[in-house]
Structure 1
Amino acid sequence: MGLFDKATNKAEEATGKGKEAAGDATNDDSTKMEGKVDQAKAEGKDKLEDVKDKFDN
């Protein structure tokens, strides 16, 4: 996995955590759920990149 991909995924995960925290603080379930979805997408991308790396090596 490239360094750029890792950084992009970590940024997306951080954005998701921020959205989740903001939704929790404002009692906005929609924003909170968006944050959780962003985090899940970032984690999924990390897992996919890990699988790609195993096949590349």
Structure 2
Amino acid sequence: MNKDQVKGTAEKMKGKANEALGRATHNPAREMKGDLQQEAGQTRKDVGDMKEAVKDSTKRHH
């Protein structure tokens, strides 16, 4: 696991918390912020996943 995967997962969790808090307090701006955080976190995690896949494939071919 690399830092992009870890930070992406953490960002997704913060986003879920903000989304839930926004929904519970009827705060659409906070809910939207949570959605955006989750998307950004997923993107960062995806980048980390790709880096791991490349690293793994280069290890197997050497």
Q: Structure 1 length as normaliser, TM-score?
A: 0.80
Structure with the greater alpha carbon radius of gyration = 2
Q: How many residues of Structure 1 are paired with residues of Structure 2 in the alignment?
A: 56
Residue 39 of structure 1 corresponds to 38
Residue 7 of structure 1 corresponds to 6
Offset at residue 54 of structure 1 (A)? 2.0
Is the 2:13–2:38 contact (alpha carbons within 8 Å) kept by the matching residues of 1? yes
Distance 2:51 2:6 in 1: 17
Q: Which runs of 5+ in 2 are unaligned?
A: 58-62
Distance 1:47 1:40 in 2: 10
